[in-house]
Amino acid sequence: MAYLDQASERLAVAINPSIAPWQIEARHYRPLIERVIIQSERRVLAGETVPAGEKLVSLFEPHADIIVKGSRDAEYGHKLNLTAGRSGMILDLVVEAGNPADSDRLLPMLERHIAFYGNAPRQAPADGGFATRNNLAIAKAWGVHDMAFHKKAGLKVEDMVKSNWVYRKLRNFRAGIEAGISCFKRAYGLARCTWRGLDHFKSYVWSSVVAFNLVLLTRLKPT
């Protein structure tokens, strides 16, 4: 940062139009470098625990979040939550801010589905991380007759769905959606975004969704 300040002072008196873009870039990066220095001093020298939301993990992609799921290694980017229909088509997707718990995102995603499509799905499976008694009760109150979580998390099958057969069917359906997500990541570039900036990140994600759905539509089209 000292070198940057020295260069800025020397170039401030120079009369050269080509310097202007460099100065704009320097003014952009200097506060980001300051943030990195401050968070490093807090963590390393002061022994302070810096909240994830206050950390800057990339000078070039400052919007990137720290994503931690269980015992897995930390990743950097944005968590995506999506819903899919019986055909496997992606019906909705949200690029989340921060690293929200799955259990906090079930009801907002269900609320979006109801707003978009007019009513709640009659049956729905979800990952185990979404499972809470409160989520189950509200989902049923909003019109979901059978709500099957992959992990029971203390819930009884008879509380979630009307029979063990329905529970197995919904869990198998969820496994099929997981396979679709795997294809989505491997074949449509969702494992790693290569476009810079948050707006471009979202555009990249949604372009992948459109491509995935278009290919699925052609496969579903009757001959």
Say yes or no: 123 and 214 in one domain.
yes
Give the structural domain span for 206: 78-220
**Mean pLDDT over residues 121-129, rounded?**
93
Say yes or no: 32 and 135 in one domain.
no
With 0.75 as the threshold, say if the pTM is over it.
yes
Decide if pLDDT at 130 tops 80.
Answer: yes
Residue 67 domain-assigned (yes or no) = no
Residue 20 domain-assigned (yes or no) = yes
What's at 92, amino acid-wise?
D
**Mean pLDDT over residues 94-112, rounded?**
93
Residue 59 domain-assigned (yes or no) = no
What pLDDT sits at residue 72? 79
Residue 153 domain-assigned (yes or no) = yes
Higher-confidence residue of 212 and 13: namely 212
Say yes or no: 17 and 115 in one domain.
no
Residue 128 domain-assigned (yes or no) = yes
What pLDDT sits at residue 163? 94
**Mean pLDDT over residues 84-92, rounded?**
92
Residue 36 domain-assigned (yes or no) = yes
Say yes or no: 131 and 83 in one domain.
yes
DSSP state of 121: -
For Cα atoms 174, 178, 182, give the angle at the middle one, nearest 5 degrees.
170
**Mean pLDDT over residues 138-142, rounded?**
96
How far is residue 41 from each of residues 34, 44, 146, measured CA to CA in Å? 11, 5, 51
Say yes or no: 12 and 94 in one domain.
no
What pLDDT sits at residue 73? 85
Residue 55 domain-assigned (yes or no) = no
Return the top range by mean pLDDT from 55-59, 71-75, 144-148, 214-218. Answer: 144-148
Say yes or no: 30 and 115 in one domain.
no
Q: How many domains does the chain have?
A: 2
Say yes or no: 176 and 95 in one domain.
yes
Decide if pLDDT at 15 tops 80.
Answer: no
- Token readout for 137 is 């009760």
Say yes or no: 107 and 31 in one domain.
no
* Secondary structure (3-state) at 214: helix
Q: What is the mean pLDDT of the chain?
A: 91
Say yes or no: 88 and 18 in one domain.
no
Decide if pLDDT at 216 tops 80.
Answer: yes
Residue 60 domain-assigned (yes or no) = no
Instruction: Give residues with Cβ within 8 angstroms of 174, minimum separation 6.
Output: 125, 126, 127, 148, 150
What pLDDT sits at residue 12? 80
What tens digit of pLDDT does each residue of 153-206 get?
A: 889 999 999 999 999 999 999 999 989 889 988 999 888 898 999 999 999 999
The β-bridge partners of 146 are 123
Decide if pLDDT at 70 tops 80.
Answer: no
What tens digit of pLDDT does each residue of 29-53 get?
A: 999 999 999 999 999 999 999 888 8
Confidence band of 223 (pLDDT split at 50, 70, 90): low
